[in-house]
Amino acid sequence: MTITQIAPAETESRVNARLAERTLPTLEVAGAMHERFAEILTPEALAFLTQLHELFAGPRYDRLADRLRRGYEIGNGRDPRFRDDTARIREDDTWRVAGPGPGLEHRRVEITGPTDPRMTINALNSGADVWLADQEDATSPTWRNVIGGQLALRDAIRGRLTHTSPDGKRYEVTAERTPTIVMRPRGWHLEEHHLRFTDAYGRTMAASGSLVDFGLYFFHNATELIARGRGPYFYLPKLESSEEARLWDQVFTFAEQYVGIPHGTIRATVLIETLPAAFEMEEILYELRHHCAGLNAGRWDYIFSAIKTYRGRGARFVLPDRNEVTMTVGFMRAYTELLVKTCHKRGAYAIGGMSAFIPSRRDPEANARALERVAADKKREAGDGFDGTWVAHPDLIPVARAEFDAVLGDRQHQVDRRRDDVAVTPRQLLDLWIGRAITDAGVYGNVSVAIRYIEAWLRGVGAVAIDGLMEDAATAEISRSQIWQWIRQEQVTEEGTPITREHVSSLIDRVLAEAPRTDGDRFDEAAEVFRDVALSETFRAFLTPKAYAEHLVELA
């Protein structure tokens, strides 16, 4: 091979020419400026977002490219494993994470929900210890929701949020003690098309949803939260590697320097909700150690990630009906026990998974049975060593709190419980075989739930009560990815029905025929989105990006 050398003078001229091409990066608001949007999209806030993108847009794309490479390797037979190149981190017993910040020490029960004004008020009145203010899976990313959520949070933090519903009912925060807010920005893979970033070389691209959500919330609220002794705190979704955690740590460090607050003021809790991340939990904690409060077992996205990661690797990786994949099956039990052990080894809180049951007064007997299941789930988590847990509805808070009170007593946490009895192997994490059936009802349920959720999402509603459960983007992902996998793996239901494209298409038609059609519904579009993400030859990594770009973007 011949190597052509470039003379130093020529190299310098090329560098100078490249530098001459550079201009100042800009961030343009492409969406409409609705009422009060100017309070959030201030010139100062946009300047901060511009610098975030100038520094971190490139590394973000690098991390997303790493995801594609890793997914290709796993699809071709190279299983995830505990990394050899980071063994020194796991073997060093001396380092610890920063731990909880002020107002985050007590996390026994956390409630999750979107950030529209009414849901914000409901969460703050709920009696939970923490509110996960969700700009991601529970929020449909319409432009009004994205900026409206920032307005609601800004007002709530300052104690001035009220809301009047269309029927004239007024809502306000009445709780004497409100939950500590932990905001969840969108994942690294999501974009914000209503803001357009042009880099120093004139290349224009959609802004990063992660950087927009984080940047606007942090810029407007960090000093106020510090003054109130309760923040700024974040939940980090969809991470797949410690390198992605390192990128967030770099964002936090820059943001702290930008507004002049001490390094380590920000605290983050990472959702371990992807299969690759389960193999790098210690490394993720290490990269974020100066800003890290703990890890959360994001159960629904974790199930989705397991299906997505092993969708093409054969029948032994096929999961049964969605409701059969409980937290007591082998691979889920292995993942959660490893999470508790990892957290407590490093002084981090371990937060349990979501109970998505929505209480109903119409069927007291069914309600009682469901509450018993919720109690059993929280009893298991507390007994396993978790320091807190998630619920989707205020009525579940007393049930969850009672189970954690019984184990924790007067303690704020049980981080001192090391769980040295736990020894989890890669094989246990990857043993997806459950040995239970796929049923006709399970297939139809996935089609029905996914289409009904997507229809609501297209109307701007990101958290939806369907058949007694709170559904969000994560549970819709499980439903559509199972359909895709069952078709590709030529599965047959317990009743003998082959799961084919034709059969699923007939179920889509059935769902549309049974849907409560009204003026302004978006069921036809929802069915179109579902067909794309469940029946196409190519598997889409996430259902929302294309649906967002084609159906939710409204540029001024």
Domain for residue 14, yes or no?
no
Which one of 384, 408, 430 terminates a domain?
430
One domain for residues 472 and 380? no
Domain for residue 191, yes or no?
yes
Number of domains in the chain: 2
Domain for residue 9, yes or no?
no
For 102, the domain range is 46-430
Domain for residue 251, yes or no?
yes
Q: What is the CA radius of gyration of the chain?
A: 24
Given 67, 108, 184, 311, the catalytic residue: 184
One domain for residues 332 and 355? yes
Domain for residue 39, yes or no?
no
Which one of 407, 430, 453 terminates a domain?
430
363 classed as catalytic: no
**Helices 364-384 and 397-408, axial angle in degrees (round to 10):** 30
Query: Residue 507 belongs to a domain with what CATH number?
Result: 1.20.1220.12
One domain for residues 286 and 164? yes
Given 116, 321, 384, 472, the catalytic residue: 472
Q: What is the DSSP letter of 468?
A: T
Both tokens assigned to 514: 């049974």
One domain for residues 139 and 228? yes
Cβ contact 265:232 at 8 Å = yes
Which residue is associated with the tokens 């890890």?
295
Residue 526: which of 454, 459, 464, 474 has the closest Cα?
Answer: 454
One domain for residues 63 and 197? yes
401 classed as catalytic: no
One domain for residues 98 and 187? yes
> Taking the CB of residue 522, how many other CB atoms lie within 10 A of it?
17
User: Within 13 Å, how many C-alpha atoms sit on residue 329's CB side?
Assistant: 20
Distance CA 95, CA 269 (A): 17
Domain for residue 7, yes or no?
no
Domain for residue 463, yes or no?
yes
What separation, in Å, do the N-terminal and C-terminal C-alpha atoms of the chain show? Answer: 54
One domain for residues 375 and 271? yes
365: phi > 0 → left, psi -120 to 50 → alpha, else beta; which? alpha
One domain for residues 414 and 444? no
Domain for residue 384, yes or no?
yes
Query: Residue 205 belongs to a domain with what CATH number?
Result: 3.20.20.360
Q: Which residues pair with 192 in a beta bridge?
A: 207
Both tokens assigned to 79: 């299983």
Which one of 371, 400, 430 terminates a domain?
430
From first to last of the 556 residues of the chain, give the pLDDT tens digit: 333 344 455 666 665 665 566 789 999 999 999 999 999 999 999 999 999 999 999 999 999 999 999 999 999 999 999 999 999 999 999 999 999 999 999 999 999 999 999 999 999 999 999 999 999 999 999 999 999 999 999 999 999 999 999 999 999 999 999 999 999 999 999 999 999 999 999 999 999 999 999 999 999 999 999 999 999 999 999 999 999 999 999 999 999 999 999 999 999 999 999 999 999 999 999 999 999 999 999 999 999 999 999 999 999 999 999 999 999 999 999 999 999 999 999 999 999 999 988 988 788 898 999 999 999 999 999 999 999 999 999 999 999 999 999 999 999 999 999 999 999 999 999 999 998 999 999 999 999 999 999 999 999 999 999 999 999 999 999 999 999 999 999 999 999 999 999 999 999 999 999 999 999 999 999 999 999 999 999 999 999 999 999 999 987 5
Give the distance, in angstroms, between the CA of residue 118 and the centroid of all CA atoms in the same chain.
21
One domain for residues 309 and 225? yes
Number of continuous H segments (helices) and E segments (strands) in the chain:
20, 15
Distance CA 392, CA 496 (A): 36
One domain for residues 84 and 206? yes
